[in-house]
Structure 1
Amino acid sequence: MLPPVQTQSLVARLIREDWGRILSSLVASTGDFALAEDSLQDAVVSALEVWSKDGAPRNPDAWLITVARRKALDRIRRSQVADRKSSELALWLEQHHSDPEDREMTIPDHRLELIFTCCHPALEEKSRVALTLRALGGLSTEEIANAFLDKPAAMAARLTRAKHKLGAAGVAFKLPDPQDIAERTDTVLSVVYLIFTEGCHATNGEMMRENLVQEAIRLGRILTSLLPDHAEAKGLLALMLLSDSRRLTRRGDSGEFVPLEAQNRARWDQARISEGVALTEAALRHAPAGRYGLQAAISAVHAQAKSFKETDWPQIVALYDVLYGRFPNPILRINQALALSYANSPEAGLRLLASVEGEGKLASYQPFHACRADLLARLGRHLEAAESYRAAIALSRAPEEASFLETRLSALRLN
């Protein structure tokens, strides 16, 4: 018997770490995304009840799959649908109804098929990304809504429509045919990258969700294996590896946020850097360079610098110019402004930052205010810097980042 708190913690961990693998196995079995997800959610509710009374099973993921299959059969029996597909599925589920819950089970990994299913052209791009984040990343509807700056109710409705649309279109749960795989790859890559960025800086306020970071890298490796000649797949994997190489140095001994200039580069993961640099070079051999390949090139310059001071800032500024020229986005200018402040001067960085100040939703974008505060502080304009620091602190989701910015704010001379 487990206390309710421990049961909730165990179930939460399974959802975070194994949701995509379990769900993809259920979708492969049932051929119905909506039915699989609804049934898995039913099984999670049962787990919270049963495990609190009887204790957790030896194989909790197998338990969830077995119970979810029974819940799926119950749902089919309760529904008014009596078509051939439902009848055949019900028969298959009946055959597995008596399977023991706590048994050894090898769960096939169907996550890649699930990603391509979620990224089907029948769905608009935003729905593809949202659905894949829900299915593969185990993100809650609220977390996905936060990632899109949407309301949770609107995102819940979007996800429901997407699942129903896949069912109505009769989308098969399988990898697309070779002639169709290219058109869905760009969205697949963007989904994997969003999973990675959510893991690096979670919308729920955690500074990092390691399981999502490693899941994205794992999916990136699968994609480069599946698409060996796809430059952007290599570029994305390179970008993720190079970013993750600094993971152990982003926090201090007490869990505090450590900025790039203060990180101990001796602790950076050299194996990840070497692999990332090699993949970057391979990605850039295919002209024109893509979005991920260029971002990986910027990360590679940082990774190969012996110190923060010795970073090749002019090269980074030039790479951002190429990236912005091909994929204009005001967020790129924020990053470029910081690089320009070191390559040229804080004044030059501030001018570049001011050029995009009114674009998009930057007024509610924390890094914009944090960057502006840093540039103003370095120029000695402390009252203005304090105003920007306060705005950045108010928008910070991670307590560690807020604390770091508060320290910077306290260091200003405001007399």
Structure 2
Amino acid sequence: MNQPPVVEWTEADQARSARWRSENGAPPPRRVVIADDRTKADDAYKLACEGTALLWRGDFHNARQLLTAMTRRIDRRPRRTPPADVTQAFHQHRAAQNQRARILGMLLVPLDAALAVPLHRAPDVREACARAYGPAEPAREEAAEGADPTASLVSLRELLGLIGANEWRRKGVEIPALGGDRIHPHYGVFSPARGEYVDLVAEAPLPSRQLAFDIGTGTGVLASVLARRGVRRIVATDQDPRALACARENTQRLGVAGQVEVVEADLFPAGRAPLVVCNPPWVPAKPTSPVEHAVYDPGNRMLLGFLSGLGAHLTPDGEGWLILSDFAEHLGLRAHTALLDAIAAAGLTVLERLDITPRHPRARDTSDPLHVARAAEVTSLWRLGRADGDVADSRRDGEG
């Protein structure tokens, strides 16, 4: 079993070490200095830009204020003019976001063995941390008086993300297609905050109410919508343990667990169904954090895997519903013809395409370097059938 990464530093002339926690897989910092309430924002920002992490030993609220001050300094930096080529603009934007995350991730806070923050005025983060990192270490004898309680280190930015995600899990996300009931996303599982794709699944004509597969179920939102529409049995798959737990909890909470079976699988379960639904990641790029796996699909792996395997898991007159945004097409990352070619190569035919435009605020934000692509984005539900199937309502042009 792999040993967790370790951070090493010197404090009060003593060599110290602690476990390093990073949900996005960032390596432990090589250089660490101690910071506290006397640390100036300009000094902290300079050190972070140079790759030196700051381990905070002061008041927790002051650490948050320092992080805010560092963020302002990043935002004041002159922005590079986005390239005219939208694909280059996308890669430049992602590089800038990654650099921003790296710099702001250099402000560290300690966690003790119980996953609490041993700092003055720190909030109770134990539940949020346990849900992201797993349970705290087993209870042990009290440390000697004056001993430092640091068991692990985490960036303050990540910790605040855990706190925010835990609040979303508690409150949930209202889903109009579920009559206003809420889906409660777990940490690292993509939240259905963009509801337009859910509306497509709620409104498309059902080919059958007997059985459906929901591939890559995530929070279980689409499986729950199908159950509420009267589909008697849904097999919902995912390979992420967090997503499996999340989907089971949500279907139980919504009262549809008797209709939805959540199983671990890479794409398809065994057998065939008259309806197979998939909402794969929309952008063919490399994810840099767990939640980004629901947004970025390197090499279109899940998209092409779904298309190539769909025919073998559809009944002869069944339908596959592919929910996909054309955002990648507007970024120049995937050609529209490539999608149609992949559909044809998989022995599938397009029955209909249902479209909806995004409603999220970023589609109207003209300051966004990717605004042109976001404003043109359309999300579609592609109704696909087997080319050799007995389908009466065939439309093969792919243009809806």
Query: Taking structure 1 as the reference length, what is the TM-score of the superposition?
Result: 0.27
Which structure: greater helix fraction? 1
- Relative contact order (alpha carbons < 8 A, sep ≥ 6): 1 or 2 greater? 2
